[in-house]
Chain A
Amino acid sequence: MNFNTESPATREELLQCLRRHQSADFRLAAGGTDLLIELKKSGPEDLTLINLGRLEDEEFTGITIHPAEIRIGALVTAARIHKDPYIHEHFPVLHQAARSLASAQIREVATIGGNVCQASPSGDLSCALAALNATCEIIDMDGKIRHETLSGFFRGPGKTSLLKSEVLKGISIPVNQDETLMSGFIKIGKRLAMECSIVSIGYHFQMNATGTVIQAGIAIGAVAPTVVFCTRAAAFVTGKKVNDLTEEEQLQVAGLIRQAASPIDDLRASAWYRSEVLFNSARSIFEKA
């Protein structure tokens, strides 16, 4: 593995760097926890790494709270997300997903932008963000900004809508409309740390004072080519009192979630297992403890 590294310190340097390398072979690197494994396998020659790790730009590195949304810079690490009190209180699904990622050491360097741009179907932060209806903020080499929903952004395993001239700048999540929440992240794997999801479910239900769901987000991971937003299941739950679903309704939602999946057999688990566990775990969200 052989590469040159460039470490822009400002946004302008970054954009210049992008412009300069358009006709060459380059990769963006944030925490490098996905990228280095990939490069080790492919063993590229004469590659340039544009290292985002030295970028000093609040919009890339900070978490800011606005009236309608919260913005998380693409370079914010999983550890920072896990420790952030606002996220902990208002978006438990994201807090839990960050906590479940890899190990303490990796969480210190793995970024949210890297997780999303990796577009892995088992990306835990991606799954949580999908359940939160998050939007990507993308900047191109000329400084132009565009926004795209996560479900539009993911195009397949490892594929996104990003162009070679673009960088993910941040993610925004709409603030909760109501603060009665049922929100969490379920991750199924063989061990409790350093584990890639075999199945994951992120859910985020906002309820009014009577307990009726006014906003619902459900996303599933590792059971399809991309993280999937379960539109029909979310619609089914909206308008219902989620704590009082009948057993039949519980099974119905779980069934809808299962239908959104198209799992395959791989080394980690069979399609049968993924489908079973997805259904059972989905059901467990609504079961009283």
Chain B
Amino acid sequence: MRLRIIWLIQSFKTALIMDKKLKLIGKSTPKLDGSERVSGRAVYGHDIELPNMLHGMILRSRYPSARIKSIDCSEALELDGVECIITANDVDVNRISYKRDHPVLKGETVNCQRDELAAVAATSRETARKALRLIKVDYEVMEGIFDPFEALKEDARQINLYGKGAESFGNKNIAESFTYSHGNLEEQKKNSRVIVSRRYRLPRVTHCCLATSNITADYSVLDGRLTLYASTQVPFLYQRDMAHALKMDPSRIRIIQPTIGGGFGSKLDMYPFEPICALLSMKTGKPVQLLYDREEEFIASPTRQTMVIDLTTGADAEGKFTFREVRIIMDNGAYTSWGATTPFVMMQTYSSLYQVPACHFRADAIYTNNPFAGSFRGYGNPQATFSVERNIDLMAEELGIGKDEIRLINANYPGEITGQGLHFKTCGAKPALMKVLETSDYERKNREKQNGRYRRGVGLASMLHVGGGAKIYRSDGCGTRLKLDHYGYLTIVTGSSEIGQGSETVLAMIASEELGIPLQQIRVINTDTDIKPWDVGVHASRTSFVAGNSLLGAIRLLKDKLNLKAARLMECETGDFLYEAGSIRADQKEIKIDKVVREMHFGSPNELCVAEYFYEPPSSFQDKQYMGDVSGNYAFASQVAEVEVDTYTGKVKVLNVYVSQDVGRVLNPVGLQGQIEGGLAIGIGYALTEEMIYEKGVLQNPSFHEYKLLTPVDMPDIHFYPIETLDEAGPYGSKGAGEAPLIPSAAAIANAVSDALGVEFQSLPLTPENVLRAWSEKRQHEPANSRKV
């Protein structure tokens, strides 16, 4: 009975959303900032030039592990044009990172290749570079620890002197640890017909933002205010972190975000170069700009978390999943950044992607002398999904049931409350699965096997990700301020940030839809912490969801004012009027919206046409056991990858990717397509070619020449089918969509390559060499007479 009522309410709300005829939402709209970006008019951090600006540069460690005996800057300071050099001894700062284990400048030891020893401010980049070469550092080199399993050993030395591993987690080199469980594992093991255990190794990759890391700091000695032109995707958290680092009052720090040339999670944390640049400006009293070149970007910007995953999973005789048991060791690198918290997202996948009666999860982030990992689009989920979906294929093979069937049997469903407490009020998991199976002709392609040089295969994988923000800070909310002027132009001041994902455009579309104002008359202001209201930042695929809802709230308030005034002017009863083509319409009457505003401003009683609203998603905090409904809604997706493997070279060609994703509602089709294609480019690179190659903590391939980011010609045909479940929590029923497209890609591709060759893969990337090696090994084990050359 209760279920039925809920269902009724839900379908009623859905009907409401569905009923409304939408004019602009759902129609492809080019990005507002698109023409600025492609014409070169956009102002990136690199384009900023301030009067008397100096150029900053950082001296990094020559060794990944050493004691610093001395740093001598005297010769460098004598160089013409050098205005300031700072080392750890010259500054009074707090350690940074959420674990406070990261000194901004290193004075005692260096723990990874990135480590900052000194920074120069000079009148030109050339001079700054020369000065770096003149700084003499005396090191006492130590043997580094580059393998997390070595770091865990009793006799290993403590890598990060500020780590609290010994007290908190029982081992000095554990930086962070997460444990989660639900269900009765032992009982479920007994219920299992098959149990599959595998160890997966996931590589270190990086974001490759087209714009390298950059910051311009402008400190005024007159009023003690610090203005930072910074490419952050979380301006308010950044302001707080910066204030903590510099021991300053946060509100004295103003963050201005120039056009951001790629974020993908890399700008979710504050890194040492940023307070360093601020310090240089504070010491010199002049603006200082610090830009990475591409090599420095590879060496010193964050990476995805590399990890070893031991996964054991079971299924009963019918193919129903019984349990998942996971143990993960993450290479945290020398310091802690958000990468260490990826287990928070991974555990959702292990506990709740498909129906899982029991789950036990433990993940530890281990300090090593490698570079530290940050957050990266997908936030651990590509790694987790890879392991889960590989194991599912193996279980299906052992049980002798279809890889499609086993997934359909276990698919998530609407109304499900998972073991972890995630509540799937709407759920497109099964529709997405069925869609990709049908459109890809999966069953036929899965049956067909080739014998020649080229072998085709298909692989299937699904994913689950938050779709309505993620409550991990005290507020997961977003503020909006609206101003409608007396010419009918609307200014949206939103707390949220645009980092290329297109949310700015979606906000303008929503306002245009609701207020009947053309897009050309709408401006979005979102780049200045002195002006914009609070927002957590761009992460968890949340911006269109949270900022969209916040905007809708503000529009409702603005309309209340407008309706009242319009009714008076049209001499009719106030009501929910129609806003269309610059006018407000009642039954027979109509009035121009700008006229209404003029009457508000200049008529009596004079009032402004402004409104503000704060939206906080209905999600809840998880408890200490990580139980709880952490997001406003959840996104589901499936992908089928079709590959052709060249058995002569090991090269994998992805022919087609079929993507179906529960996005709730498509807001801007062309923007969504961009997210899907861009996501796949990252996902396919993760699957096939991208890898940061380290030798004893030193990056061997810090260039686009040797780090194999894929190019446009490497992209397959992409077939995208959105699923619209019209979730009541999202604006017009929508869900977050930004991270999902890359999450299942590597899993689907690895499954496809396994399908093509009959070879198992437990690590990425599937480079031609790795594939050819696996293939050769398989053929060596085959009886000679069954071998066909």
Q: Is A28 an interface residue (CB 8 A)?
A: no
* Pair B769/A270 contact, Cβ less than 8 Å: yes
Q: Chain B residues near A247: list those with CB within 8 A.
A: 789
Q: Bound state CA distance, A45 and B689, in angstroms? A: 37
Cβ–Cβ contact A280 & B711, under 8 A: no
Could you pull out 22 A-B pairs where Cβ atoms are within 8 angstroms?
A2-B126, A103-B711, A188-B649, A188-B768, A190-B689, A190-B768, A193-B714, A194-B704, A194-B705, A194-B711, A196-B705, A267-B693, A269-B768, A269-B769, A270-B769, A273-B768, A273-B769, A277-B649, A277-B772, A281-B649, A284-B453, A284-B648
Is A46 an interface residue when CB atoms closer than 8 A count as contact?
no
0/1 interface trace, chain B 647-661, chain A, CB 8 Å (1 if under): 011110000000000
Q: How far is the CB of A250 from chain B (nearest CB, A)?
A: 10
User: A240 — which chain B residues lie within 8 A by C-beta?
Assistant: none
Cβ contact of A190, chosen from B712, B767, B773, cutoff 8 A: B767
> Do A190 and B649 have beta carbons less than 8 Å apart?
no
Distance of B82 from chain A, by nearest CB (Å): 17
The answer, yes or no, to whether B35 is at the interface (CB within 8 Å) is no
Q: When the two chains form their complex, are residues A193 and B649 in contact, meaning their CB atoms are under 8 A apart?
A: no
Interface residues of B (CB under 8 A from A): 126, 453, 648-651, 688-689, 693, 700-701, 704-706, 708, 710-714, 767-769, 772-773, 776, 789
Known: A280-B649, A281-B648. A191 touches B772 (CB 8 A): no
- Tell whether, in the assembled complex, residue B705 and residue A188 are in contact, meaning their CB atoms are under 8 Å apart: no
Most chain B beta carbons < 10 A, residue from A190, A196, A269, A276:
A190
Do B711 and A193 touch across chains, with their CB atoms under 8 A apart? yes
Q: A188-B649, A194-B711, A284-B648 are in contact. Are A276 and B693 (CB under 8 A)?
A: no
| B651→A188 contact, CB < 8 A | yes
Give, as a whole number of angstroms, the nearest-CB distance from B708 to chain A. Answer: 5
* A36 contacts B by Cβ under 8 Å: no
How far does the alpha carbon of A269 sit from the alpha carbon of B688 in the complex, in Å? 14
A268 within 8 A of B: yes
Q: How far is the CB of A185 from chain B (nearest CB, A)?
A: 15
- CA of A115 to CA of B476, assembled, Å: 56
B772 in complex: contacting residue of A196, A273, A284, CB < 8 Å: A273
Find the B residue at minimum CB distance from A1. B126
> How many angstroms from the CA of A247 to the CA of B711 in the assembled complex?
37
- Which B residues are in CB contact (< 8 Å) with A196? 705
Question: Chain A residues with Cβ under 8 A from B768's Cβ?
Answer: 188, 190, 198, 269, 273, 277
A214 CA to B194 CA in the complex, in Å? 63
Question: Given the interface contacts A188-B768, A280-B649, A284-B648, does A267 sit within 8 Å of B706 by beta carbon?
Answer: yes
A192 is an interface residue with CB less than 8 A from chain B: yes
CB-based nearest A residue for B767: A190
Q: Is the CB of A191 within 8 A of B649?
A: no
User: A267-B700, A281-B648, A281-B649 are known contacts. Are A192 and B714 too (CB-CB below 8 A)?
Assistant: yes
Q: How far is the CB of B618 from chain A (nearest CB, A)?
A: 45
Distance to closest chain A CB from B623 (angstroms) = 46
Q: What are the residues of chain A within 8 A of B648 when measuring CB–CB?
A: 277, 280-281, 283-284
Complex interface: chain B residues within 8 A of A193 (CB): 711-714
8 A Cβ contacts from A243-289 to B? 247, 267-270, 272-273, 276-277, 280-281, 283-284, 287
The complex places the Cα of A281 from the Cα of B453 at a distance, in Å, of: 11
| Alpha-carbon gap, A272 to B777, bound state (A) | 13
Q: Please give, as numbers and ranges, the residues of chain B lying within 8 Å of A192 by CB-CB distance.
A: 711, 713-714
- The interface bits of chain A over 219-239 (1 if a CB of B lies within 8 angstroms of the residue's CB, else 0) are 000000000000000000000
What is the CA–CA distance of A268 and B700 in the complex, to the nearest angstrom? Answer: 11
Closest to A269 in B: B769
Cα–Cα distance between A192 and B650 once the two chains are bound (Å): 14
Q: Cα distance A273–B769 when bound, in Å?
A: 6
Rounded to whole Å, the gap between the CB of A283 and the closest CB of chain B is 8
Q: How large is the interface on A (under 10, 10 to 19, 20 to 34, 35 or more residues)?
A: 20 to 34
Determine the chain B residues whose CB is within 8 A of the CB of A2 once the complex forms: 126
Bound-complex Cα distance A272 to B704 (A) = 25
Contact with B along A192-230 (1 / 0, CB 8 A): 111010100000000000000000000000000000000
The smallest beta-carbon distance between B26 and chain A, in angstroms, is: 35
A280: nearest residue on chain B (CB-CB)? B648
- Contacts of A82-110 to chain B: CB distance below 8 A: 103
Identify 14 new A-B residue pairs, CB closer than 8 A, beyond the known A190-B689, A267-B706, A283-B648: A2-B126, A191-B708, A191-B714, A192-B711, A193-B714, A194-B705, A196-B705, A198-B768, A267-B701, A268-B706, A273-B650, A273-B768, A277-B772, A280-B648
CA–CA, A287 and B452, complex, Å: 12
Rounded to whole angstroms, the CA-CA distance of A247 and B768 in the bound complex is 25
Partner pick for A191 among B126, B689, B700, CB 8 A cutoff: B689
**In whole angstroms, what is the CA distance A287 to B689 when docked?**
29
Return the chain A residue nearest B700 by Cβ: A267
Q: Which residues of A contact B772 (CB under 8 A)?
A: 273, 276-277
Taken residue by residue from 173 to 196, chain A's Cβ proximity to chain B (1 for < 8 Å, 0 otherwise) reads as 000000000000000101111101
CB contacts (< 8 Å) of B650 on chain A: these are 273, 277
For B700, what are the chain A residues with a Cβ–Cβ distance below 8 Å? 267
Q: With contacts A280-B649, A281-B648 known, is A191 near B706, CB below 8 A?
A: no
- Chain B residues within 8 Å of A281, by CB: 648-649
Expressed in whole angstroms, the Cα–Cα distance for A116 and B322 within the complex equals 63
Contacts of B773 in A (CB 8 A): 272-273
Pairs A-B, 5 closest by C-beta atoms: A280-B648, A273-B769, A193-B711, A192-B713, A190-B708
Would you give the shortest CB distance from A79 to chain B, in whole angstroms? 16
A273 to B650, CA, bound (A): 10
| Complexed CA–CA distance, A267 and B650 (Å) | 17
Tell me how far the C-beta of A38 lies from the nearest C-beta in chain B, rounded to whole angstroms.
13
**Chain A 50-92 interface residues, beta-carbon cutoff 8 Å to B:** none
Cβ contacts A97-134/B at 8 Å (1 or 0 each): 00000010000000000000000000000000000000
| Chain B residues whose CB sits within 8 angstroms of the CB of A276 once the complex forms | 772, 776
Specify the chain B residue showing the minimal Cβ separation from A284: B648
A193 to B712 Cα, complex, angstroms: 9
Chain A nearest CB, measured from B559 CB (Å): 51
* Alpha-carbon distance A36/B736, docked complex (angstroms): 44
Min Cβ gap B165→A in Å is 34
Closest to A45 in B: B130
Min Cβ gap B395→A in Å is 32
Distance (Å) between the CB of A235 and the closest chain B CB?
25
Contacts of A273 in B (CB 8 A): 650, 768-769, 772-773
Which of A276, A283, A287 has the most chain B CB within a 10 Å cutoff? A276
Alpha-carbon gap, A270 to B650, bound state (A): 13
B126, B706, B769, B789: which has the most chain A beta carbons within 10 Å?
A: B769
What sequence of 0s and 1s flags, for each residue 26-51 of chain A, a beta carbon within 8 Å of any chain B beta carbon? 00000000000000000000000000
Give the chain A neighbours of B701 by CB distance below 8 A: 267
Query: How far, in Å, is B314 (CB) from chain A's closest CB?
Result: 37
Chain B hits for A272, CB < 8 A = 773
CB distance from B260 to the nearest CB of A (A): 25
* Bound Cα distance from A2 to B700, whole angstroms: 26
For residue A248, give the distance in angstroms from its CB to the closest CB of chain B: 11
Which residues of chain A are near B705, meaning CB under 8 Å? 194, 196
Nearest CB in chain B: distance from A199 CB, A = 8
B712, closest chain A residue (CB): A193
* Nearest chain A residue, comparing its CB with the CB of B652: A190
B767:A191 contact, CB within 8 angstroms: no
Alpha-carbon distance between A29 and B710 when the two chains are bound, in angstroms? 29
**A191-B769 contact in complex given A267-B700, A281-B649, A284-B648, C-beta closer than 8 Å:** no
A268–B703 Cα distance when bound, in Å, is 13
Pick the residue among A103, A188, A191, A287 that contacts B710 (CB under 8 A): A191
Query: CA A198 – CA B689 in complex, angstroms?
Result: 14
**What distance in Å separates the Cβ of A245 from its nearest Cβ neighbour in chain B?**
15
A247: nearest chain-B partner, CB-CB: B789
Shortest CB-to-CB span from B143 to chain A, Å, is 23
Contacts of A198 in B (CB 8 A): 768
Separation of A190 and B705 alpha carbons in the complex (Å)? 11
Nearest CB on A from B700, distance (A): 6
Chain A residues whose C-beta falls within 8 Å of the C-beta of B704 in the assembled complex: 194
- Across-interface contacts of A270 in B (CB, < 8 A): 769
